[in-house]
Amino acid sequence: MKCDICPHQCDIPEGGTGLCRARGRRDGEIKNINYGELTSLALDPIEKKPLARFHPGSVILSAGSYGCNLSCPYCQNSVISMAGPENAGTRYFPPEELVGLAEERRDIGNIGIAFTYNEPVTWYDYVMDTAALARGKGLETVLVTNGCIRRGPLERLMPCITAMNIDLKGFSREYYDWVGGDLDAVKGAIEYASMHCHVEITTLIIPGRNDSDEMMEAEAAWIAGIDPGIPLHVTRAFPAHRMPDMPRTPLDTIDRMAEIAAGHLKYVYKGNC
């Protein structure tokens, strides 16, 4: 029995989980074993997602669970994204409770719910149920995602989502092989989502891996071919996870990447600087 949410299409045995550690086979069905299990909950500035051109100056209730369908060796949030049910440390929030919490905080500027911190694609069933309920209450719904999702599940989810920040981790298949992802799936997600909701893109710059002028030139030109008005966040990375000795991304590298991207795109932002 295969999971159909992301390009890995894990073949999961009864009682087991997929690569993401968050979707498993129970009683002959593939389901979220992390359904409603929150590891993280905070009221964040919308710019932290990062979204620079979607309700700027507002705040959004941000929720995360555990699990990810990639295996980036430099993961900046590995404590939860690389965790499983045995070590995540969670509290159960049914969709109604999370939406109710978001509504209660409207009086202090909350605009909705962001599914973030870990990969929301691995939390798909809960995201779908909660986002649909939130939209019915007039709340904004934000997905902060790596974009490694198959077209069918994305199409089903899209009517419930009003904004997305999608990681475009690098612009070569070799880079995506390194992080355990699928570049074509991510490009397809960006193209499709940009026709249906507000989209911004983040590229975390890893020294020696995706910091060449040629790669950023190709990436920015491709994004501009969809819409030069799509904002791009060029973001600094720090040593983490399996790369504790990785140097911090030099600030002049971020400046150079942003300058190249600005040759194609209207809105380029430098992150973690």
Q: Does residue 85 surpass a pLDDT of 90?
A: no
Residues 6+ apart with CB under 8 A from 137: 99, 102, 103
Percent of the chain with pLDDT over 90: 97
Q: Does residue 174 surpass a pLDDT of 90?
A: yes
Q: Does residue 262 surpass a pLDDT of 90?
A: yes
Which of 77-81, 172-176, 193-197, 223-227 is predicted with the least confidence, judged by mean pLDDT? 77-81
pLDDT band at 218 (very low <50, low <70, confident <90, very high): very high
State the chain's mean pLDDT as an integer: 97
Percent of the chain with pLDDT over 70: 100
22 by DSSP, 3-state: which? coil
The residue among 122, 44, 28 whose CA lies nearest residue 83 is: 122
Q: What's the confidence (pLDDT) of residue 141?
A: 98
| Token output for 2 | 């295969």
Q: Once rounded to an integer, what is the mean pLDDT over residues 162-173?
A: 98
Q: Which amino acid is at 31?
A: K
pLDDT band at 84 (very low <50, low <70, confident <90, very high): confident
Q: What's the confidence (pLDDT) of residue 76?
A: 93
pLDDT band at 150 (very low <50, low <70, confident <90, very high): very high
Q: Once rounded to an integer, what is the mean pLDDT over residues 226-239?
A: 98
pLDDT tens, residue by residue, 38-73: 999 999 999 999 999 999 999 999 999 999 999 999
Q: What's the confidence (pLDDT) of residue 184?
A: 98
The residue among 72, 68, 63 whose CA lies nearest residue 97 is: 63
Q: What's the confidence (pLDDT) of residue 114?
A: 98
Q: Once rounded to an integer, what is the mean pLDDT over residues 154-178?
A: 98
Residues 6+ apart with CB under 8 A from 114: 44, 49, 60, 61, 62, 63, 141, 142, 143, 144
Residues 6+ apart with CB under 8 A from 100: none
State how far the Cα of 4 lies from the Cα of 227, in Å rounded to an integer.
29
Residues pairing with 61 in the sheet? 43, 113
pLDDT band at 187 (very low <50, low <70, confident <90, very high): very high
